[in-house]
Structure 1
Amino acid sequence: MRNISFVFLVFIFISCNNEKTDYVNVAPEKDVVFTSTSLIPDDDFLGDNACKSCHKEQFKEWKGSHHDKAMQIALDSTVLGDFNNVKFTSQGVTSRFYKKENNYYVNTEGPDGKYHDYKIEYSFGITPLQQYIVKFPDGHFQCLRTAWDTEKNKWFDLYPDFKVVHSEWLHWSRGGLNWNNMCADCHSTNVRKNYDLESHSYNTKYALINVSCEACHGPGKDHVEKANFEGINYKVSNDLKMTVGTAPKDLVDQCARCHARREQFSEYYNFEGTFLDHYFPQLIENNLYHPDGQILDEVYVYGSFLQSKMYQNNVTCTNCHNPHSLKLRFEGNKLCAQCHDTNVYDKPSHHFHTENTEGSKCINCHMTGKIYMGNDYRRDHSFRIPRPDLSIKYNTPNACIQCHTDKDNEWAWEHFKTNYGTPKSKHFSELLAPGLTGDPHGFEQLKELSKDTIYPEIARASGIRVMGNYLNEERINDMLRFLNDESPLVRGATIDVLNNVNSGDYANYFLTLLKDKKRSVRIKAFQAIASLNEFQIPEAYKEAYKIVEKEFNAHLAVTADFPRGRAKKALYYLKKGDTQNAIVWYEKSLEIDNNNNMVRTNLANLYYQTGDFKNAEEAFKTIIKQEPSFAQTYYSYALLLAELNRVEEAIKQMHLAIEFMPENTRFYYNLSLLYDKMNNLKMAEEIAAKGLKIDTSNESLLYVLAYIYQKGGNIEKAENLSSRLVELYPNNAQYRTFYNQLKALNK
């Protein structure tokens, strides 16, 4: 579906028994120290010139860098674009860039679909593109969709192939390109978003406009005072972050806050705790990554770097990048030669290309990339060996045919085997990709991936997340062990999956995680126990419950300007059994993104469940109008119409569902029942038979077709199908009784 700004959460209904394994207290209770959420005063940030006197070389390298120029006031010295009354047209919208009274302006389409003049307040970035920011009412600042290409010196559309209507969330004047919630946290220092839900307004503040020295190293006040007081005896201690003494993985963790696609969990970043105390990263999922973990959508390096052997072996960001200029430490293969023997790897006997050509460069085989935002080429940091065999299986990219564009994956695989043989070890993607591509037998591979700590924790956590597509009661019981995994990413992903099981029986399993060392995991656990009220919380967890409740509410508040944040509050109420408040918060989510049809689908289903058929029907019609090829909506709408006894209309909608998703056997099952309801047994039989051609062992279709045969007097065919049901499902007493009845009739 289009305009998705959060993951669609579907409750999984499980009938629970009393044979669940008790994993609640398997791990020893954690002695957690709850990190502070206190705000750092702006006065504690002294500015870059306070660093310059002692750190001249570092200051010189930083000056003019991407961090230095992350955000600037729009002046003649900072604006690089052509504002000499220049017009640019894309997707039917013409923008005119001009100057007036020494200020910069653009005339372009606004949120009402009409053209307006907007003053440029800030420039954003320097190369390979520069964006521009406009001030809107109520403290909103918006980033223009049209940007300046600083290498080709021309205006261009960041998303030239993507038509966006002025009423959509992704329009430049709305949430998708809002500076306050999408950009500020990483482009300035000590940012407080200060969003007010009631007025949908911002009062965003920061200490310093750009990514200053103190954005990475922390506020300098204590450091400078100690240095001045102790003089030459001063030694750097814990008063600074990201120092030469910072451990490799800790450094990656600290860089991650701005180099990861993530969800925010703390009210603001205050340098206390770790990345997972403030954010939770996007895991490897469809539409964001390829099934093997390669980058697809804009994921900002961290998620791919965690997959790499480099990260596992304590290679860190600054081994390759100068932390102040952000430039590479070496050019070409010399960068990799810091660790890898050139006599082995920088030779045709390894790369099988002519030396000193593009094909001989390490990065072109092991760090393929993509262009984002129109002209910004970014490389995949998972540092992987090309695997044409996986490309054949899962339609994933590989470096070989990205260069040899006249060849195919089969050619690449044959050459790979000739040059290197078959892979000696199993890559995690061989276990993850089947699940991500919908393999019906993928669960066991995902479980193997998630249990084996030899694999990267982000891959293991992603495996857990995908296991949510395969759940049944037995598998849920098997997954509970992951709540005690050493990896907080795995624990968090497990909560996310089990939180969707619509049964209060599992709430107690999350209690120990209220004392988890990571704030994001604690908050996830709090939502998972929403079905418990305060009086049901054991005494040992009451204090933690109250603390995490505040953390949870802060998380909801800081994400309340996102459709996803409001939808999360709806889900919280839904778990508490408060359907009316759930409806209210889904409606609030649509207030800021009226085209978010994942939210509207959830809302339509709640209207349906509560008997509000009028609003449910309107919601389904709106979804169909906006996304006429989304099959699931036709299916849900058909069920509603059947409930209203408008069977002929329901049949029409179910046919449309099958038209757009012909492989979904559930549609055939329900359509067969609808025809049966109309006493059209011929069509009921025909539809069920078509479904069985897709899945010859489908339980529901076998049963409904046997029932239709019996109803139509074709007892022999009914008996044959019921016999097959008994063979496939020998423990189902209902099928055995049905078979015996038919057998008796057929004597």
Structure 2
Amino acid sequence: MRFFFIFLVTLVIFSCKKTKDEYIDVTAETDKIFASTKLIPDDHFLGDNTCKECHSKEYEHWQGSHHDKAMQIANDSTILGDFNNKIFKSQGVTSQFYKEGADYFVNTEGPDGNNHDYKIEYTFGIKPLQQYIVKFPNGHYQCLRTAWDSVKNQWFDLYPDFKVVHSEWLHWSRGGLNWNNMCSDCHSTNVRKNYDLKSHSYDTKYALINVSCEACHGPGKTHVEQARKLGAAYTSQDHLHMTAGTSPKSLVDQCARCHMRREQISEYFNFKGTMLDHYFPQLLGDNLYYPDGQILDEDYVYGSFVQSKMYQNGVTCTNCHDPHSLKLKFDGNNLCAQCHIPSSYDTPKHHFHETGTDGAQCINCHMTGRYYMGNDFRRDHSFRIPRPDQSIKYGTPNACIGCHEDKDNEWAWAEYQKLFGQPNTKHFSDLLAPGLTGHEKGMASLMELAHDTIYPDIARASAVSAMNNYLDSNSIEEMLTFLNDESPLVKAATLDVLGNINVTDYNNYFLPLLKDNKRSVRVKAFFALGALDAMLVPENYKEDYEKVKQEFETNLNITSDFVGGRIKRANYLIKKGDLQGAIKGYESALEIDNINNIVRTNLANLYYRNGQFDRAEDAFKTIIEQEPEFGQTYYSYALLLGELNRIDEAITQMKLAIKYMPVNVRLYYNLCLLYDKVNNLSEAESVAVKGLKVEPNNDSLLYVLAYIYKKGNQIEKAKNIARRLVELYPNNQDYQAFYNQLNRKE
């Protein structure tokens, strides 16, 4: 057996091709973007009262909005919650909210598990809830888990069904509810996080406390100066952003910087370049979305909306929402009737529900939603047709049984077919869902989706990202073509997948992307080139390599207060061959999330690779103690014990792995090999047979069973299994040779 790292894909090595001519040298544009990393001084932001002088109507609409009240200093006029010595209990924690003079306090569980008094420094939001922020040492500001329901006027737990231990990253006093890294960039204007890795401290700054006019339109200093100087001859588009002249898709991208789940790429947002020069969105998958792309975890709208036909056809945020008050422009179906003819759609002939009922509302069929943060209902902006057939296949939700709670998906699908027949168009989810759920044709579906430019870029990029689960030499060869794709999302997703393969075979494909005009693509290309010796960078890329190296370091630094950021640095060091540095990086990740056992598993594997067997074993034991039903740990621990020739102990751990992961046939295969090592052929046979009940045609199990029969001198049984292997896999020469060898023994 060979011990592999969980976080690395199996290496598939073959010769790479020459650099392709299709790549365009955009050095001049790249230089312009490199020069645009300058911080905007706070005094260039003049404040909302200055904007009010000329834009009173817009100011009036904005005043009192969610943007206006995004963050405020805590005082009698801003706090909505009841701090009159109110007691609130949830998940075994008692919190008391009270006042002392003009100040507001809470007594609640802190990071040590004991209750402490904390002063409320800021408020966050207004409706349907208001959160409260307290100050911690080293510049940390934390958002309380207990919030005020401003609709029901009561305290409530943001996660009432989720027990969080004080030592967890998700505890309100730690990373999961830290204002500096989770909230500040979008709730205030001109934010600089200013995180220091060595001291794990912040010196976060902003120009304006809330989401001001200038948070969207950019700093007003030059705008005001030029408007006063030029008068009627002045054109605002020269200095402002998100104006009436902004194109629909550009406007969506500009809103997206705060209305999406994303990774931060640049040190701060300075209105230069595009969204992808500062952030990269989370793609569909990874438990953030259902396999068909519907919202699951919080996605903040962008990731949903760019899936939609609305977005593809030029509909933008402000077609439905007033850009200043943020309210909907029309009530009910009148909002949709701006584009969709009422006589065709707002009728029982289309929706098959009684007029005026909930079922007749467009949004209830095409914009289903979920509750987040306890009481905040948010609608899915992908504007999709309900698909009960996909619910049956992939476990995805649909609007039909969302309302008809007494019915099931089979009923919904039968009714759908009666009313509408079969779906008359192929939605990207017909290809994405099989790939994300491991369907036998999953890779083919993903490849078809990724290639077809008729589908949304985010769906195509998500398909590429999901190919990570299907990698082989053929798929890698085809994936390389996506590095030439017109979509930067697709290029970046391809780099993320291929960049995890720790070889230098594809460097000629990656190098041209150091010149890409999107910073996020360049940064991902640099990571992918991690195994390349800087001294061997071709002369025509040396300057680009050094420039992007600075961008990459910035990306690592700006995300180093997250576990993922620290892991990214560690994985880059692995690519550079610095194993000890990578170990320190993973240990550093555990310092801010000590019970993150995905991190600890990878660290255990690194310890093993570095010959630190005792530390590897201790790490596995810690994981088992914390998560005794996590089968993967028993599997990894068994492999370690097997390598150390502690076979009996390895067998015990592999059995436990099978107990908790009974459908993973790889475990049965490895247990067979362990029994073979101690020459217990009867147990090896029994395990192989059990595994074949899970997956009858698994070639690894069939081969090992035939081998066991051969070793036990049960040649006829061995030949029968070998014959079956050859019939199932006629192109496998090894199986044919094995079968021929058995026949020669007669």
State the TM bucket, normalised to the shorter chain: over 0.9
Which residue does 1:510 correspond to in 2?
510
The residue type paired with residue 283 of structure 2 is L
Describe the superposition over 1:547-574 as per-residue Cα deviations: whole angstroms up to 9, x where unpaired.
Answer: 1000000000000100100000001011
Describe the superposition over 1:433-483 as per-residue Cα deviations: whole angstroms up to 9, x where unpaired.
Answer: 001111132111111100000000000000101111111011100110000
Question: Is 1:711 aligned to 2:711, yes or no?
Answer: yes
Separation in structure 2 between the aligned mates of residue 695 and residue 128 of structure 1, nearest angstrom? 50
Separation in structure 2 between the aligned mates of residue 643 and residue 388 of structure 1, nearest angstrom? 48
State the SS of the aligned residue for 1:237.
helix
Question: Is 1:167 aligned to 2:167, yes or no?
Answer: yes
Structure 1 residue 315: Cα displacement: 0.2
Q: 1:289 to 1:416 in 2, by over 3 A?
A: same
Separation in structure 2 between the aligned mates of residue 287 and residue 414 of structure 1, nearest angstrom? 29
Which residue does 1:672 correspond to in 2?
672
Separation in structure 1 between the aligned mates of residue 720 and residue 62 of structure 2, nearest angstrom? 78
**Does structure 2 conserve the Cα–Cα contact (< 8 Å) formed by 1:74 and 1:123?**
yes
Question: Is 1:12 aligned to 2:17, yes or no?
Answer: no
Structure 1 residue 506: Cα displacement: 1.7
The residue type paired with residue 66 of structure 1 is H
Describe the superposition over 1:296-330 as per-residue Cα deviations: whole angstroms up to 9, x where unpaired.
Answer: 00110000000000000000000000010000001
Alignment of 1:35-54 (within 5 A): 35=33, 36-54=36-54
State the SS of the aligned residue for 2:670.
helix
Consecutive unaligned residues of structure 1, counting only runs of 5 or more, are: 1-7
Alignment of 1:346-425 (within 5 A): 346-425=346-425
Which residue does 1:527 correspond to in 2?
527
**Does structure 2 conserve the Cα–Cα contact (< 8 Å) formed by 1:706 and 1:721?**
yes
Out of 143-152 and 381-390, give the one that drifted further.
381-390
Q: 1:117 to 1:248 in 2, by over 3 A?
A: same
Over aligned residues, Cα RMSD in angstroms? 1.3
TM-score, normalization by structure 1:
0.97
Out of 465-474 and 146-155, give the one that drifted further.
465-474
State the SS of the aligned residue for 2:435.
helix
Q: 1:695 to 1:609 in 2, by over 3 A?
A: same
Alignment of 1:272-283 (within 5 A): 272-283=272-283
Describe the superposition over 1:251-273 as per-residue Cα deviations: whole angstroms up to 9, x where unpaired.
Answer: 00000000000000000000001
**Does structure 2 conserve the Cα–Cα contact (< 8 Å) formed by 1:23 and 1:480?**
no
Separation in structure 2 between the aligned mates of residue 13 and residue 422 of structure 1, nearest angstrom? 41
**Does structure 1 conserve the Cα–Cα contact (< 8 Å) formed by 2:371 and 2:377?**
yes
**Does structure 1 conserve the Cα–Cα contact (< 8 Å) formed by 2:30 and 2:516?**
no
Which residue does 2:269 correspond to in 1?
269
Structure 1 residue 41: Cα displacement: 0.2
The residue type paired with residue 459 of structure 2 is A
**Does structure 2 conserve the Cα–Cα contact (< 8 Å) formed by 1:9 and 1:500?**
no
TM-score, normalization by structure 2:
0.97
Which residue does 1:542 correspond to in 2?
542
State the SS of the aligned residue for 2:245.
coil
**Does structure 2 conserve the Cα–Cα contact (< 8 Å) formed by 1:195 and 1:202?**
yes
Separation in structure 1 between the aligned mates of residue 742 and residue 414 of structure 2, nearest angstrom? 57
Q: 1:576 to 1:656 in 2, by over 3 A?
A: same
Which residue does 1:473 correspond to in 2?
473
Describe the superposition over 1:129-180 as per-residue Cα deviations: whole angstroms up to 9, x where unpaired.
Answer: 0000000000000000000000000000000111100000000000010000
Structure 1 residue 15: Cα displacement: 3.6
Separation in structure 2 between the aligned mates of residue 506 and residue 231 of structure 1, nearest angstrom? 56
Structure 1 residue 422: Cα displacement: 1.2
Which residue does 1:633 correspond to in 2?
633
Describe the superposition over 1:86-123 as per-residue Cα deviations: whole angstroms up to 9, x where unpaired.
Answer: 00000000000000121000000000011100000001
The residue type paired with residue 30 of structure 2 is V
The residue type paired with residue 27 of structure 1 is Y
Separation in structure 1 between the aligned mates of residue 22 and residue 49 of structure 2, nearest angstrom? 53
Describe the superposition over 1:640-687 as per-residue Cα deviations: whole angstroms up to 9, x where unpaired.
Answer: 111222211111110111111111111001111111122211101100
Aligned length: 738
Which residue does 1:68 correspond to in 2?
68
**Does structure 2 conserve the Cα–Cα contact (< 8 Å) formed by 1:25 and 1:512?**
no
Structure 1 residue 381: Cα displacement: 0.2
Which residue does 1:84 correspond to in 2?
84
Alignment of 1:121-136 (within 5 A): 121-136=121-136
**Does structure 2 conserve the Cα–Cα contact (< 8 Å) formed by 1:133 and 1:142?**
yes
Describe the superposition over 1:21-54 as per-residue Cα deviations: whole angstroms up to 9, x where unpaired.
Answer: 5564433334533421110000000000000010
Out of 207-216 and 707-716, give the one that drifted further.
707-716
Separation in structure 2 between the aligned mates of residue 663 and residue 386 of structure 1, nearest angstrom? 31
Which residue does 1:28 correspond to in 2?
24
Describe the superposition over 1:168-204 as per-residue Cα deviations: whole angstroms up to 9, x where unpaired.
Answer: 0000000010000000000000000000111100000
Question: Is 1:285 aligned to 2:281, yes or no?
Answer: no
Structure 1 residue 507: Cα displacement: 2.5
Structure 1 residue 732: Cα displacement: 4.4
Separation in structure 1 between the aligned mates of residue 640 and residue 20 of structure 2, nearest angstrom? 40
The residue type paired with residue 263 of structure 1 is E
Separation in structure 2 between the aligned mates of residue 198 and residue 155 of structure 1, nearest angstrom? 37
Alignment of 1:116-155 (within 5 A): 116-155=116-155
Separation in structure 1 between the aligned mates of residue 449 and residue 19 of structure 2, nearest angstrom? 20
State the SS of the aligned residue for 2:497.
helix
Alignment of 1:290-301 (within 5 A): 290-301=290-301
Question: Is 1:659 aligned to 2:659, yes or no?
Answer: yes
Question: Is 1:212 aligned to 2:212, yes or no?
Answer: yes
Alignment of 1:187-202 (within 5 A): 187-202=187-202
Q: 1:465 to 1:594 in 2, by over 3 A?
A: same
Structure 1 residue 391: Cα displacement: 1.1
The residue type paired with residue 274 of structure 2 is T
Alignment of 1:216-615 (within 5 A): 216-615=216-615
Separation in structure 2 between the aligned mates of residue 703 and residue 512 of structure 1, nearest angstrom? 44
**Does structure 2 conserve the Cα–Cα contact (< 8 Å) formed by 1:21 and 1:477?**
no
Structure 1 residue 621: Cα displacement: 1.1
The residue type paired with residue 24 of structure 2 is P
**Does structure 2 conserve the Cα–Cα contact (< 8 Å) formed by 1:23 and 1:481?**
no
Structure 1 residue 737: Cα displacement: 3.6
Out of 284-293 and 116-125, give the one that drifted further.
284-293
Separation in structure 2 between the aligned mates of residue 119 and residue 94 of structure 1, nearest angstrom? 16
Structure 1 residue 702: Cα displacement: 1.6
Separation in structure 1 between the aligned mates of residue 235 and residue 507 of structure 2, nearest angstrom? 49
Out of 689-698 and 455-464, give the one that drifted further.
689-698
Consecutive unaligned residues of structure 2, counting only runs of 5 or more, are: none
State the SS of the aligned residue for 1:377.
strand
Structure 1 residue 16: Cα displacement: 1.9
Out of 229-238 and 33-42, give the one that drifted further.
229-238
Out of 229-238 and 579-588, give the one that drifted further.
229-238
Describe the superposition over 1:357-379 as per-residue Cα deviations: whole angstroms up to 9, x where unpaired.
Answer: 11111111100000000000000
Separation in structure 2 between the aligned mates of residue 17 and residue 80 of structure 1, nearest angstrom? 63
**Does structure 1 conserve the Cα–Cα contact (< 8 Å) formed by 2:18 and 2:508?**
no
State the SS of the aligned residue for 2:396.
coil
Separation in structure 2 between the aligned mates of residue 266 and residue 133 of structure 1, nearest angstrom? 26
Separation in structure 2 between the aligned mates of residue 12 and residue 529 of structure 1, nearest angstrom? 16
Separation in structure 2 between the aligned mates of residue 499 and residue 667 of structure 1, nearest angstrom? 28
Structure 1 residue 723: Cα displacement: 2.7
Describe the superposition over 1:483-512 as per-residue Cα deviations: whole angstroms up to 9, x where unpaired.
Answer: 010000000000011112232212221001
**Does structure 1 conserve the Cα–Cα contact (< 8 Å) formed by 2:502 and 2:531?**
no
The residue type paired with residue 701 of structure 1 is L
Describe the superposition over 1:393-445 as per-residue Cα deviations: whole angstroms up to 9, x where unpaired.
Answer: 11111111111111111221122122222111100000000011111321111
**Does structure 1 conserve the Cα–Cα contact (< 8 Å) formed by 2:17 and 2:508?**
no
Separation in structure 2 between the aligned mates of residue 448 and residue 732 of structure 1, nearest angstrom? 27
Out of 244-253 and 432-441, give the one that drifted further.
432-441
Out of 616-625 and 241-250, give the one that drifted further.
616-625
The residue type paired with residue 8 of structure 2 is F
Structure 1 residue 697: Cα displacement: 2.3
Separation in structure 2 between the aligned mates of residue 94 and residue 320 of structure 1, nearest angstrom? 42
